[in-house]
Amino acid sequence: MNYKDIAIRAIKTFIQAFIPVVIAAFQVADFTNWDQIKSIGYSAVISAAAAGLSAVWNFVLGILPEGKSE
């Protein structure tokens, strides 16, 4: 199993989920409002969760016998 490939895919998923959300949030955020800052943080956590799910999914597909992953 290629753990490096799984890690790279997870990082790419994190970036794909995190960057657009943060860019959109920065355009409307009031950085003096703690609730909006927390919302941006929650977006980062959700992005990390998406990357984690991607890593787990790729790990599971990697340990399944050939032909069983589809």
Backbone angles phi, psi at 67, to 5 degrees: 85, -10
Please report the pLDDT score of residue 70 as a whole number. Answer: 53
Q: For the packed helices 34-63 and 3-28, what is the interaxial angle rounded to 10 degrees?
A: 160
Q: Any idea where the domains of the chain sit in the sequence?
A: 3-63
Span 18-36, average pLDDT? 78
pLDDT digits over 33-58, tens only? Answer: 888 888 778 877 887 787 788 778 87
Q: pTM of this prediction? A: 0.56
